[in-house]
Copies of this chain bind each other. A is one copy, B any other.
Amino acid sequence: MSLHDDIRRLCEQAREAARTLAITPAAAKDAALLAVAAAIETRAPAILAANAADVAAAQAKGLSPAMIDRLTLTPARLAGIAEAVREIVALPDPVGDVIETRLRPNGLKIDKVRTPIGVIGVIYESRPNVTVDTAALCLKAGNATVLRGGGEAFRSNTALAEAFAAGLAEAGLPRDAVKLVPFTDREAVPAMCAQAGLIDLIIPRGGHGLVKTVVEHARMPVIKHYQGICHVYVDAEADTAMAERIVVNAKCSRPSACNAAETVLVDARIAAGFLPELAATLASRRVALRASARALPFTPGATPATPEDFDTEHLDYILNLEVVDGLDGALAHIARHGSGHSEAIVTANDATAERFLDSVDAACVYRNASTRFTDGGEFGFGAELGISTDKLHARGPMGLAELTSYKYRITGTGQVR
């Protein structure tokens, strides 16, 4: 059997399981997720041992400390993974929700109801917790998953997926509802992408290379969890103390997050007054500043920015600074450099704010708040599978509702047309 055939078979098994899940009541799914959480706890020694082997291999390979930290499971982290599953149990099941009802003049009743999507393929990188989080969220929404994690976490993911499947089986649900692709080969990604008809949706969560490969090969819908080149525009009519607080938070509270700001745009009318102060504050937070030619005169400590800087997701204590001619300048800059993720304006002027919120084409547009709030938890979704930078089906944080499709249930009394 080839890798391609094996992946096909595994997707067929997931598809079959998805049929069962689609008509499994909420209580049975919840009971299964509780069994999964328990199985993770029961199997903690085996999971931690598998993870230790992954970590040892990663260290031998010389992976960076940050990578190794992302990979590492501790008893506390594993307990957190089990706990996250229990939190998903507590969320309401979206399947069967009536989104809208239409009563037609001919007496037909048309209910638009949420359904599972079917089989969701998720391709991700190093963190092993993603294996469980993803499978649990998808299962809650009635979907089977085909998972492909990073090669360096393969042993950990295998142990976690086995615990997941064991929990499902204990609760009487099909083990095949969660399939881990048992190949670390690069070709596994294109092979998954070829399973249109079996996989209904693929979600790549990773770097540029992965997303590009998936978009190139996928013959089914793709929702990209892509980069965040987020801007904060400080308008001339901003409360500058608020603006400073928001910029510092958007950059420094977690620079590695996709909702962190990469560029601050300052209205030319206040550049001379505001930028030097902002630059000093950021420098005191050890943020490296990259200033455009227009910003540099106001930020003597900064490095001159290269054109590439404005298209780079730094994910680090690095911030680009640009001076723009008011709102129109900000809108033009964001249209050119933004990644459609999260964009913020700080202004006290209602009309300026409205025009910014209307005009910026991004998943989340903010007035007087930090871009860091783009997050399923902060939005009140309870949990999220990622943040879509696409515009079809799901945009922004993806919660349970975004993991569903819908169908129309039409009931009549013999109507014909």
Give me the interface of A with B, judged by CB distance under 8 Å: 19, 22-23, 102, 104, 108, 110, 115, 117-118, 196, 200-201, 215-216, 219, 221-223, 239, 242, 245-246, 248-250, 253, 335, 353, 357-359, 361-370, 372-374, 378-380, 390-393, 395-396, 405-417
Contact = CB atoms under 8 A, between A and B. Distances in A.
A405 B392 contact: yes
Contacts of A242: 414
Given A102-B380, A363-B408, A395-B405, A249 B215 contact: no
Contacts of A380: 102, 104, 110
A92 to B, nearest CB: 15
Contact of A410 (B361, B366, B409, B412): B366
Is chain A's binding surface mostly helix, strand, loop or mixed? mixed
- Identical chains bound together, number: 2
Contacts of A250: 416
A82 to B, nearest CB: 26
B391 A361 contact: no
Q: Of residues A108, A239, A392, which shows the largest number of chain B Cβ atoms within 10 Å of its Cβ? A: A392
A370 B246 contact: no
Given A392-B117, A410-B366, A378 B104 contact: yes
Contact of A378 (B215, B370, B407, B417): B417
B372 A416 contact: yes
Contacts of A411: 353, 357, 366-369
B239 A414 contact: yes
30 contacts: A23-B359, A102-B380, A104-B378, A104-B379, A104-B380, A108-B369, A110-B380, A115-B391, A200-B391, A215-B219, A221-B392, A245-B416, A246-B414, A357-B411, A361-B407, A363-B408, A365-B407, A366-B410, A369-B410, A369-B411, A369-B414, A369-B416, A373-B417, A374-B408, A379-B408, A391-B405, A392-B392, A392-B405, A395-B406, A395-B407
Nearest to A404: B391
A413 B390 CA distance: 28
Contact of A392 (B102, B200, B374): B200
Contacts of A370: 415-417
Given A19-B361, A249-B416, 8 more contacts: A22-B361, A23-B359, A117-B391, A200-B392, A246-B414, A364-B410, A368-B411, A374-B408
Contact of A393 (B353, B366, B369, B393): B393
A93 to B, nearest CB: 14
Contacts of A359: 22-23
